[in-house]
Amino acid sequence: MIIIRVELHSAVTRQVTEIARMRICNIGGTREHGDYRAETFRGRSAQQLARFVRQRTAEVTKYPRLRVHVWHLVAQALVAMGYAGKAAIEEQSDLLEGT
């Protein structure tokens, strides 16, 4: 399992705040090509994110795990979830009211 945390490091207060989290799980494949399920979680703090309320999910298949850096997997997962690329759209689950 791969956990990606996005932290905001304040230049003013020196406080570190986790503002986003993604989990990528291996769901199969071969030694050379992996299949993964990625999910992001709702919230803008470590406490909210620790509830593991899924915001978006996607799968990345046939990822060449031994040939390219893991950042490519993260990028492909983000694109597959619609956070980036031509399909980048705001979804209702992205809205932060009530979190």
Q: What's the rounded Cα separation, in Å, for the pair 35 and 16?
A: 33
Q: How far is it, in rounded angstroms, from Cα 39 to Cα 62?
A: 18
Q: Greatest CA separation found in the chain?
A: 47
Residue 99: is its pLDDT beyond 50?
no
| pLDDT tier for residue 69 given thresholds of 50, 70 and 90 | very high
Burial class (CB in 10 A: 0-12, 13-18, 19+), 33: middle
6, two tokens: 């996005």
pLDDT at position 14 is 94
Banded pLDDT at 91 (limits 50, 70, 90): low
pLDDT at residue 45 greater than cutoff 50: yes
Rounded average pLDDT over 13-26:
96
